């Protein structure tokens, strides 16, 4: 005959008390809040990085377009250089592709810089300011242009571009 043994648990094997469960839940909650804060900070950092990368990509596109258009300014050798006309938030330079009637026009309005060569208009948003000035040599001859832009994610930048033609210089002392 077999004997049945009733298992009686010892006091140490009865499980967790309500206080122990509550303390465990509190610890897990604190850890969860820490992990969530870390994830939130990482997401915000990624968003800032993405915004800066996008702004810098736009700045590179603007740099390429501005330099390409400036290189197409082909003034004849007998003038001292193309003149830069300013009207409000718009700037224009004649002698685009060697034609005195064709102009390169840059305009800035409501945070958007536009570059217009008469055939295609490029727009560059996200800027807080933009200005264009003639790039002069030591004799005040216009050799190119300096475009200065400022934006939240790019800071303050200047792009200097030479014209496709430069004035003929006379030798010093002549």
User: Do residues 133 and 148 touch, judged by C-beta distance below 8 A?
Assistant: yes
Query: How would residue 143 be classed by pLDDT, with cut points 50, 70 and 90?
Result: confident
Q: What is the pLDDT of residue 156?
A: 96
Query: How would residue 27 be classed by pLDDT, with cut points 50, 70 and 90?
Result: very high
Sign of CA dihedral 40, 46, 47, 49: positive
Q: Tens digit of pLDDT for each residue in 111-136? A: 999 999 999 999 999 999 999 998 87
73: which DSSP letter?
B
Q: Is the pLDDT of residue 167 over 60?
A: no
Q: Could you tell me the pTM of the whole model?
A: 0.74
Query: How would residue 102 be classed by pLDDT, with cut points 50, 70 and 90?
Result: very high
User: Do residues 61 and 83 touch, judged by C-beta distance below 8 A?
Assistant: no
Tokens standing for 152? 């939240």
CB-based burial label for 91 (10 Å; 0-12, 13-18, 19+): buried
Element housing 132 (H / E): strand 129-136
Which residues, 6+ apart, have CB-to-CB distance to 115 below 8 Å? 62, 65, 66, 69, 104, 105, 106, 121, 122, 124
Q: Is the pLDDT of residue 5 over 90?
A: no
Query: How would residue 165 be classed by pLDDT, with cut points 50, 70 and 90?
Result: confident
Q: Tens digit of pLDDT for each residue in 48-95? A: 999 999 999 999 999 999 999 999 999 887 777 788 899 888 999 999
**Pairing mode, if any, of strands 84-87 and 99-109?**
unpaired
Q: What is the pLDDT of residue 14?
A: 72
Residue range 32-57: mean pLDDT, rounded: 95
Tokens standing for 60? 């590179």
C-alpha dist (Å) from residue 56 to 17, 61, 104, 122: 59, 9, 24, 16
Q: Is the pLDDT of residue 168 over 60?
A: no
């Amino acid at each position: 005959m077999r004997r049945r043994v009733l298992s009686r648990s010892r006091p140490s094997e009865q499980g967790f008390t309500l206080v122990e469960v509550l303390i465990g839940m509190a610890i897990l909650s604190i850890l969860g809040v820490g992990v969530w804060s870390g994830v939130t900070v990482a997401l915000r950092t990624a968003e800032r990085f993405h915004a800066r990368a996008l702004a810098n990509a736009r700045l590179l596109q603007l740099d390429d377009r501005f330099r390409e258009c400036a290189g197409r300014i082909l003034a004849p050798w007998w003038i001292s250089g193309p003149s830069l006309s300013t009207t409000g938030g718009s700037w224009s330079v004649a002698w685009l592709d060697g034609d005195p009637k064709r102009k390169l026009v840059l305009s800035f309005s409501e945070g958007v810089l536009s570059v217009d060569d008469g055939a295609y208009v490029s727009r560059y948003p996200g800027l807080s300011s933009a200005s264009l000035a003639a790039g002069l040599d030591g004799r005040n001859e216009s050799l190119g242009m300096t475009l200065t832009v400022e934006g939240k994610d790019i800071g303050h930048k200047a792009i200097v571009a030479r014209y496709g033609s430069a004035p003929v210089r006379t030798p010093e002392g002549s």
